[in-house]
Amino acid sequence: MAYMDRDAGAGAGAARQNVVQMPFADAAAHPVTKVQRHAEHTVIFYEGDTADRLFELEDGIVMLFKLLPDGRRQVVEILKPGAIFGLSAGPVYDVSAETLTSSRIGVLDRRDMDSSPWLQRQVTHCLLRQMETMHDHAMLLGRKSAAERVASFLMRMVPGRGGYGCLGPAEGGKDEREVVLAMTRQEIADYLGLTIETVSRVISDMKRRGLISIVRQDRIRINNVCALCKATGIH
């Protein structure tokens, strides 16, 4: 990863599948709301930095992660537009946040949120939705096989499929979908709690079985969405 110098820090730039409308977008005229634009692989904040701001991802993809002293990394969550992050129970951030793509991020001072009951209600509602995604990730890390983990990750890239209320494929149409991977194989491995070799082996096996096709390094075609969904272990 191309980390920026820590002194440049936050602000330097150059869940589920449903998008949740967030309070910053609803309160666009709020005088204390600011917008930051960041290039890919820009660190927004580090674990241990003072948690004095709250962020809404308006466009792009952001990765939340934790590091062990020996450099091992666990990706905690991958955030899509509509997600909020940076809200900590203590005085410092408990994770680090880095953009995976060029991103536009709304920023609100923590003190302004603390003084606004309306913003607090909106943030609480959105965080509850994100907690559901965290529960799914805990199940993935704790109980699923390597193949089920990779299948679950790919299904997250298919909006409206595989979750509660999924209606299945369109009648009479091909049940395929092309997805763009904004993450490297190593980042995917860190998110799934696997080695990069295991992720590559599982993807190769899925390709051999005809479940997916590799369009290019960052783009995969899911040839049968329902078949891949069954491989996630949720059925």
Which pLDDT tens digit goes with each residue over 78-108? 998 988 899 888 899 999 999 999 999 999 8
pLDDT of residue 15: 33
- Residue 41 and residue 98 in contact, taking contact as beta carbons nearer than 8 Å: yes
Residue predicted with more confidence, 83 or 204: 204
- Residue limits of CATH 1.10.10.10 in the chain: 144-230
Tell me the β-bridge partners of 205.
Answer: none
pLDDT of residue 173: 63
Per-residue confidence at 12, pLDDT binned at 50, 70, 90? very low
pLDDT of residue 115: 76
∠ CA 19-101-147, nearest 5°, is 70
CATH topology of domain 23-141: Jelly Rolls (2.60.120)
Q: Which residues, 6 or more positions from 138, have their beta carbon under 8 angstroms from its beta carbon?
A: none
* CA terminus-to-terminus distance, the chain: 36
Q: Residues 158-203: pLDDT tens digits?
A: 877 776 666 777 666 678 889 989 899 999 999 999 999 999 999 9
pLDDT of residue 48: 95
- Residue 85 and residue 62 in contact, taking contact as beta carbons nearer than 8 Å: yes
Computed over every residue of the chain, the mean pLDDT equals 81
Cα–Cα distance measured from residue 31 to residue 207, given in angstroms and rounded to the nearest whole number:
51
- Residue limits of CATH 2.60.120.10 in the chain: 23-141
pLDDT > 90? residue 220: yes
- Residue 67 and residue 73 in contact, taking contact as beta carbons nearer than 8 Å: yes
Whether domain 144-230 has CATH 3.40.50.300: the reply is no
Per-residue confidence at 7, pLDDT binned at 50, 70, 90? very low
Give the alpha-carbon dihedral of 220, 77, 18, 14, to 10 degrees: -80
Token reading at 58: 């308006």
Q: Of 103, 112, 97, 100, nearest to 82 (Cα)? A: 103
pLDDT of residue 73: 92
Per-residue confidence at 5, pLDDT binned at 50, 70, 90? very low
pTM for the full model? 0.75
> Exposed, middle or buried by CB within 10 Å (0-12, 13-18, 19+), for 22?
buried
